[in-house]
Amino acid sequence: MCGIAGIISSNARNYQEEIKKMTDSLIHRGPDSSHYEFYDNAALGHRRLSIIDLSENGKQPMFSNSKDECIVLNGEIYGYQDIKKEYAEYPYHGESDTEVILAMYQRKQENLIHELPGMFAFAIWDNQKKQLFCARDRFGEKPFYYAIGNNNEFIFASEIKAILATGLIQPKVSPDALSHYLQYGYVSTYQSIYSNIYTLPPAHQLIWKEGKISVSRYYSLPAKDRMISLSDAKDEFLYLLKNAVKKQLIADVEVGSFLSGGLDSSSIVALVDEFLPQQTTISFGYDHKDNELKYAKEIADKYKTNHIEVHEKKEDLVTSLLKITPFFDEPFADASFIPHYEICKAAKKNLTVVLSGDVGDELFGGYHFYTVENKMKQHFSYKNIMAQFGLKLYQKLRTTSFITQKNIQYNSILDFHLNAVRNDFNKREREHLGISSDYLQPYSFAPDTDSLNDIMRTDLENYVPANMMVKSDRMAMANSLEVRTPFLDLDFAEFCIQLPDQLKLSNTNDKIILREAMGSYWTETIRKRHKQGFGLGVKNWFAEENLMNFSNDMLKNPNHKVFNFIDFKATQSYLNKDEKHWNLLQLALWADNNQSVL
């Protein structure tokens, strides 16, 4: 895992100082070494976290055998050994997965992207074509940002802070991105918080040539569901997941696993046991009665892992926020980033690579609100105009059920999902704060408003890359740790995406396919478990005096930088020690962290 950076300009050799500033700002992503390479028109930089081919042969920027191409890569190409055999004519100098991409490029040029698995963000400078080819993985596991500098330079990097470090751009806050953040608590995966710094969306490629930028989608989620029985699905599910785990265990350093004691992480640990004689597992828990450490220990004992428990007393929350939030570069309100940082920090003491059980909920139907949406769809009032009219009259006399209320309030389950689930500020509230923009992100498919599977697909293209993968990448990289996500293996993920929703959830059960395929690998206690959140939640945190004082210092100060973007008076009505308050606090903290450029 690494940090990449580059400046494309007609006099690129003059940008040595800027490239060094860029890579210096990314030292947390790659503390092992820093390297640069220069052509007349391209300056490339790299920070290295050594994982595969620890020798000098694995260092980047990496030249091709002809020196006509040079690559910088952040990520891992899973199964690269098999790909290497298909490109055996290339004269390899080392054993890294990075070099395999160069071999593929020489034969297939940009078309290599259709065959490239794994998590990645990379850029290849082709000196013959005077062209830069960039791409980002299908599910947005690795980040890629770019901008146009004051002198028309094309600047790219793994993180926004590296672009800002050049001093070649004065960022401007995007009202669209601000609106999306206030609504959902994170910036869209199609934007950055700045209107003049761009993100390359997941599953997209970019070509820069002669000052022109072309961005295009190279991959779309499978849009149709499969017809398959539960028994056949179980067998294929297990086969594909085992293969995914096996591929992601390849490294020249030890690979461990996060273990929460939930169904997803327990499944990963169980399958790792089939490939490694001994594995290290790491669990995190706040010291309160509802933490999950006891469940994690059950699985650790079952598979005799080298188990590490991290006990967090949740002290000095403000110090944690000040330490952690600068790693995001953008406002980010998912409160679980704090425990996530702590478990990554603990893992790094023993490991460089860790497997995670992330994205199981989106693939198998694990969230409670998916069940709610299923019940809404099956309720007699769903899209029934006459029934809803009668129920509107009835609820003036008596309280109706939650399902009834939501069917009356929203046009469809998709409308409910996008405008009620994980929402902080609705459109009216955002306008009250002075934000009139209303950004809607595009999708690679046309969602059926009545399809539960399409709701899960929207989460895979919205919430997963913009929230979950941002949290995973930034918190891991803040601690120079690589996190891998076996559930996002392309073959496995595509299989799960296409499973009919009745194999994922019903009104009484969730993650049906996972429970059926993996139940025998768990303990009895784990089999009976349903989803539990990570941490105590913001309402508990606001009970702490130091956090409230910290909040008051920023959000009750009309001269604070954040009030250049939102209305001070309106803000005061939302400081109620809840998720909205937390959202605004994180926005103010982001403004504080970036005062020098705002």
Alpha carbons 358 and 320: distance in angstroms, whole number? 23
Q: Smallest Cα–Cα separation from 28: which of 2, 58, 54, 56?
A: 2
Cβ atoms of 372 and 403 closer than 8 Å: yes
> Encoding tokens for residue 67?
């020196």
Cβ atoms of 141 and 119 closer than 8 Å: yes
Question: Residue 551, annotated ligand binder?
Answer: no
Question: Residue 356, annotated ligand binder?
Answer: yes
> Encoding tokens for residue 499?
């499973």
Cβ atoms of 470 and 333 closer than 8 Å: no
Whether a cis peptide bond, with omega within 30° of 0, leads into 61 is: yes
Question: Residue 336, annotated ligand binder?
Answer: no
Q: Smallest Cα–Cα separation from 360: which of 500, 270, 265?
A: 265
Cα–Cα separations (whole angstroms), residue 61 to 14, 33, 67: 18, 11, 11
DSSP type of residue 168: -
Pairing state between β 69-76 and 119-126: antiparallel
Instruction: Please report the DSSP string for 225-267 in residue order.
Output: PPP--HHHHHHHHHHHHHHHHHHHT--SS-EEEE--SSHHHHH
Report the chain's C-alpha Rg in angstroms: 24
Catalytic residue (choose from 2, 134, 344, 496): 2
Partnered with residue 132 across adjacent β-strands are: 125, 208
H/E stretch holding 360: helix 360-364
Residue type for position 222: P
Pairing state between β 212-217 and 204-209: antiparallel
Instruction: Please report the DSSP string for 18-38 in residue order.
Output: HHHHHHHHTGGG-BSEEEEEE
Cα–Cα separations (whole angstroms), residue 296 to 235, 270, 283, 341, 468: 26, 12, 7, 19, 21
Alpha carbons 440 and 455: distance in angstroms, whole number? 15
3-class DSSP state of 212: strand
Q: Is 2 an annotated catalytic residue?
A: yes
Pairing state between β 306-312 and 353-355: unpaired
Pairing state between β 353-355 and 482-484: parallel
Residue type for position 245: V
> At a CB cut-off of 8 Å and minimum separation 6, what does 540 contact?
none
Q: Smallest Cα–Cα separation from 542: which of 553, 550, 533, 534?
A: 550
Residue 392's CB is within 10 A of a number of other CB atoms, namely: 12
> Encoding tokens for residue 116?
């490239």
Q: Categorise residue 537: left if φ over 0, alpha if ψ from -120 to 50, beta otherwise.
A: left
Binding site listing for L-glutamine: 97
Binding site listing for ATP: 356-357
Binding site listing: 97, 356-357
Residue numbers annotated as active site: 2
